[in-house]
Amino acid sequence: MKPIYALVGALAVAACSTTVTVPAEKQGLVEYYGSQKTIFDTGKAEGKVPIAAMSSSNAAYGVGAYAGLDGEITIYEGKPFVTQVRGNGYTMSHADSGSAIFAAWTKNTQWRDEPVPADVKTYLDLQRFVKARAAAAGIDTNLPFPFLMTGTPAELKWHINVDLTEGKTITRELFAKSKAGYVMKNEKVDIVGFHSEKHPGQFISAYAPAIKEKDVKNAIHIHLVTKDGKSAGHIDDLSFSGGGMTLRLPKN
């Protein structure tokens, strides 16, 4: 029987040591790989980041665009929420077998909560508030950092990527077209976000529909997961009715 025990033990060790990794860059608490800009440079939307590399920890939170412009990836507490447009609706999967074109993620266990004040009402208000509160908490805002939110926004405008390129080389125009848009109001959600002023065209989109000011750049990438777990995707715009939201920032 000893050889059998030895074999079982070896297999167990091998299984436990199998970890999916990518040559991600890490700055501060944020890991990232792939680039939105690569889509336009190559005209392709190839998968670069295995979902399993982003979600291999209960402390994992992440956002990404699914390979082939075929969905959105959100990681919340280590669980993948993969939404893909199918027919007149969309599906939800928790599988970690797919990949992202580009993604950002963190594996952080320590968070500090604080209320979002009533004067934070818009996407741009949120962007400014998150940076200010991170700086006040001693976080180096010259580096990318993650943040979480929970609560009930007044309105969320969000999308799921869906390939509408018809096999053509992907341009910025086709990329912008390849989205299915949705709106939800007064629904409880968890939000996964990343802030950086240094990574436009990588995991921060250089363009955000919510920002109309020409001299203001987008600095956040935010995804939602509804509390019932039935919806998830990329947030384009949002509004708050005044209070009722909680911001979670990493503890130093």
User: What does the pLDDT average to over 136-154?
Assistant: 97
Q: Is residue 2 part of a domain?
A: no
Which band of pLDDT confidence, cut at 50, 70 and 90, is reported for residue 18? low
pLDDT of residue 164: 95
Q: Is residue 199 part of a domain?
A: yes
Q: Is residue 110 part of a domain?
A: yes
Q: Is residue 109 part of a domain?
A: yes
Which band of pLDDT confidence, cut at 50, 70 and 90, is reported for residue 7? very low
Question: Mean pLDDT over all residues of the chain?
Answer: 92
Q: Is residue 220 part of a domain?
A: yes
**CATH number of the domain to which 27 belongs:** 3.30.1330.80
Q: Is residue 16 part of a domain?
A: no
Question: Could you list the residue range(s) of the whole structural domain that residue 65 is in?
Answer: 22-250
pLDDT of residue 8: 39
Q: Is residue 72 part of a domain?
A: yes
Interior/surface letters 163-178, b for 16+ CB within 10 angstroms, e for the rest: bebeeeebeeebbeeb
- Residue type (1 letter), 55: S
Residue 248 φ then ψ, to 5°: -120, 120
pLDDT of residue 119: 95
Which band of pLDDT confidence, cut at 50, 70 and 90, is reported for residue 107? very high
| pLDDT per residue as tens digits for the range 21-78 | 889 999 999 999 999 999 999 999 999 999 999 998 999 999 999 999 999 999 999 9
Whether the pLDDT of residue 148 is over 90: the answer is: yes
Number of compact structural domains in the chain: 1
Tell me the three-class secondary structure of the chain, residue by residue. CHHHHHHHHHHHHHHHHCCCCCCCEEECCEEEECCHHHHHHHCCCCCCEEHHHHCCCCCEEEEEEEHHHCCEEEEECCEEEEEEEECCEEEEECCCCCEEEEEEEEECCCEEEEECCCCCCEHHHHHHHHHHHHHHCCCCCCCCEEEEEEECCCEEEEEEECCCCCCCCCCHHHHHHCEEEEEEECCCEEEEEEECCCCECCCECCCCCCCCCCCCCCCEEEEEEECCCCCEEEEEEEECCCCCEEEEEECC
| pLDDT per residue as tens digits for the range 85-94 | 999 999 999 9
CA atoms within 13 A on the CB side of 249: 20
pTM of the prediction? 0.91
User: What does the pLDDT average to over 98-106?
Assistant: 98
Dmax over CA atoms of the chain, in Å, equals 73
| pLDDT per residue as tens digits for the range 167-215 | 999 999 999 999 999 999 999 999 999 999 999 999 999 889 999 998 9
Q: Is residue 222 part of a domain?
A: yes
